[in-house]
Structure 1
C-alpha cells in the first residue's frame, strides 16, 4: 500500500478560466505553507494581489520525540485491532498513510474509514482507501451525524489527528459506546516572524481580505498582529479586515476576537474560496 501523491494536489474542482476575476483585491493567505502556496498562486493567477503569510506550521512527530513516537508505532502496529479509523484533516490522512506504509504492505481487512471533509476523503482515496465523509458539511459535527457512527457499542476507534485538537469526536463516540484512541501525528505551532516581516505583511501589503481556515490559524494571526513593536498599533487593527473562516463555529470565534466582516464559504476548495471573495467583496 502506498500514498500516491501529495494530499493537497489535484483535490479541488476545476477552477474559473478568468484571469482577472479578482483584479485589484489584496488577499493575505494565512494557511500552512503547502496549502497556502497553492492557494496564493491561484489567487494571483486570477488577478488578485495575494501574499502567503502562514500563521500555523505543521510538524510531523519525529523519532526524537521518543514517547510520542512509541505511542504512534504501537497504534499502527495494532491497526487491525480497530473497527473504525477517522482522519480529521488532510494532514492527518497524509501522515497516517506514511505510518501505515511502514508496517502494512496491505491494509488490514474489515476496517471502516471516515474523513472529516471531502478533501480529506480524497486524500485517502488516492491511496486506495475509500472513506465515508458527510455530504452535508466538512466539520466534526457533520461527521458525527453519519448514521454509521450512531451506535458503537464495544467498537474500537482510532482518530488520526494533530496533537491538541478538538475533543468533540472522541467525547461523542465514547458516549455512543466506543473505545477511542488518538494517533497524534503532528504538532501545530505558531511561526516566529520578525517585526519587519509582520509590518511588510500587515502594513505595507495592507490586505483587504484575510484567509484563515481554522480557529488556531485565526487566533495566531491576531496574536502576531498584536506584537508590541509593529506599526499596526498606530494605524489600524487586524480585526478591521474582512476574514474568510471555515465554519460558523470559527466565525463565532472571529466575532469574539472583534472581527465584524466575516465570510464563511460554501466549501474549502479553491473555487469555493474564490466564489466567496467575488460574492462578498464585489457587492
Structure 2
C-alpha cells in the first residue's frame, strides 16, 4: 500500500493518531483538519436530559467528542453510573465510555449506523412498551439511525453537544497542499467533513473530484457522488482498521 499518499481531514488530534497508524503500514499522509470540534454551551435543557438519563432504555453515543463531552456532563449529576444501556457506533468511542465505567455494546463488525442497527443488544433494549432512546451527537448527523429506530417503535431524542466548524485557511490551501505533496487520495470521516472539503476546494473541485475519496458510510458516499466525486470508496466505518482494509482492496494509484 506504499503507493498511497493520503490527505487526512479529521480534527488535528484524530488525524495525528491516524497518521501514526498509516505510517506503520508504510503509507504517507498529510493532515489538513477540516473540522474544529466546538462544545455547545451547557444549557438548562442539556442538564435536565442528563439528570434524567436513566429514563431512556438506550443511550447511543455516535462519536468520540460526544463521548468525552457527555462524560463531563454525567460527572456533574451521576457519581455512580446510571442504570441504562449504553451503545456506541464504534470501538474507539466505546473505549472512552468504558474508561468511565460504563457497560457499552457496539458492533464487532463495521462501525456505522447500519451495523449498530443490526446489534442484538440494541434490539433487545428497545423491545419494551414505549421505548425511549437518546442519541448523543454533534449538531446534525445520524438521521438514518433515528429514522430506523422510530420505524422499530422507539421514541428518539437528540442531545447535541458540539458543532463542527471549518477552520480558517487561505483560499488555495487545499489544492495547494495536494499539489505540493503529490497526494493521490482523500479521506473524510463524516458528511460535514466532506461538505467542508467540497467548500474549501472551490474552483479546484472538478480536478480534486477525480482523486479516490475514502468515506465512512453509504450516506457520505451518496453525498460525495452527488457532488461529482468520481471514485468514492465506502470504508464502512471511520476507524483506522476500516480505512486500511479499504486501501488494501482498492487498486493502488500509479505514481
Q: Which of the five TM-score ranges fits, normalised by the shorter chain?
A: 0.7 to 0.9
Deviation for aligned residue 1:136: 4.2
Deviation for aligned residue 1:281: 4.0
| Residues 136/198 of structure 1: CA separation in 2 closer, same or farther (3 Å cut) | closer
Deviations 1:152-174 (A, max 9, x none): 43223221111222333333333
1:223 match: 199
8 Å Cα contact 1:152-1:173 kept in structure 2: no
Structure 1: runs of 5 or more not aligned: 1-20, 64-68
RMSD value over aligned CA atoms?
2.4
| Residues 101/208 of structure 1: CA separation in 2 closer, same or farther (3 Å cut) | same
Residue 248 in 1 paired to residue 218 in 2?
yes
| Residues 90/155 of structure 1: CA separation in 2 closer, same or farther (3 Å cut) | same
1:72 match: 46
2:9 match: 30
8 Å Cα contact 1:222-1:238 kept in structure 2: no
1:18 match: none
8 Å Cα contact 2:57-2:125 kept in structure 1: no
Deviation for aligned residue 1:244: 0.8
| Residues 247/170 of structure 1: CA separation in 2 closer, same or farther (3 Å cut) | closer
1:102 match: 76
| Residues 41/137 of structure 1: CA separation in 2 closer, same or farther (3 Å cut) | closer
1:141 match: 114
Deviation for aligned residue 1:196: 4.8
8 Å Cα contact 2:58-2:132 kept in structure 1: yes
Aligned to 2:76, the other structure's residue is in SS state helix
1:8 match: none
Aligned to 1:103, the other structure's residue is in SS state coil
C-alpha distance in 1 between matches for 2:161 and 2:238: 22
2:168 match: 192
Aligned to 1:86, the other structure's residue is in SS state strand
Deviations 1:33-64 (A, max 9, x none): 2111211233345443311111222111125x
8 Å Cα contact 1:94-1:123 kept in structure 2: yes
| Residues 131/200 of structure 1: CA separation in 2 closer, same or farther (3 Å cut) | same
Aligned to 1:237, the other structure's residue is in SS state helix
| Residues 140/266 of structure 1: CA separation in 2 closer, same or farther (3 Å cut) | closer
Work out which of the residue numbers 265, 268, 277 in structure 1 matches 2:235.
Answer: 265
C-alpha distance in 2 between matches for 1:183 and 1:128: 21
Pairwise mapping of residues 52-71 of structure 1 onto structure 2 (< 5 A)? 52-63=31-42, 69-71=43-45
**Structure 1 runs, 4 residues or longer, greater than 6 Å off:** none
Work out which of the residue numbers 93, 97, 114 in structure 1 matches 2:67.
Answer: 93
| Greater radius of gyration (CA) | 1
Deviation for aligned residue 1:212: 0.8
C-alpha distance in 2 between matches for 1:178 and 1:137: 23
1:40 match: 19
C-alpha distance in 1 between matches for 2:154 and 2:235: 33
8 Å Cα contact 1:88-1:161 kept in structure 2: yes
1:204 match: 180
Aligned to 2:81, the other structure's residue is in SS state coil
8 Å Cα contact 2:126-2:154 kept in structure 1: no
Aligned to 1:119, the other structure's residue is in SS state helix
Deviation for aligned residue 1:267: 4.7
1:130 match: 103
8 Å Cα contact 1:152-1:177 kept in structure 2: no
